[in-house]
Amino acid sequence: MTWHRLCAVAKLSDEEPLGFKVGDRRVALYKVGDDVFATDDVCSHAFALLSTGFLEGHVIECPLHGAMFDVRSGKCQSSAYRDIKAFKVEIRDGDVHVELDGDAALQTAGDGGVDVKP
Ligand code: FES
């Protein structure tokens, strides 16, 4: 497991998830009040980015077919689709760090358009 810095916490705003690509993995960040959560960005049903979905409270709704996941746990709110992964998040010196499998390097900013460095 390796920690990756994704962006400054100040880049996040409520109800506007941001997507990042870390190696082969896509990660979505969500700010809910004073808390930040991270999950897989790709829906467990098909290829849709949850960071482009609709966040209400702690629930992200997939923009394609409407699956809903709790961003705290990755649990799907219905039995229709599989759960997604949720990742540990730490805020260090104002930056969001996420713990991921392996040591994939941060390659590019995701659809959130935030310019980040490894
Ligand atoms: S792709 Fe997300 S619910 Fe179908």
Q: Does 80 contact ligand 1 (Cβ within 6 A)?
A: no
How many whole angstroms from 40 Cα to the centroid of ligand 1?
13
pLDDT, mean of residues 94-118: 60
Whether 106 shows a pLDDT value over 60: the answer reads no
Ligand 1 binding pocket includes 109 (Cβ within 6 Å): no
> What's the gap in Å between 62 CA and the centre of ligand 1?
6
| Mean pLDDT to the nearest integer, 103-116 | 44
CA neighbor of 51 nearest in space, from 80, 101, 12, 96 = 12
- CA 70, CA 56: separation in Å to the nearest integer? 10
Region 36-43 average pLDDT? 98
pLDDT score of 109: 41
Q: Using the 8-state DSSP alphabet, how is residue 97 labeled?
A: E
Q: What is the mean pLDDT of residues 88-94?
A: 97
Which amino acid, residue 38? A
All structural domains of the chain, each given as residue ranges with its CATH number in brackets, are 2-104 (2.102.10.10)
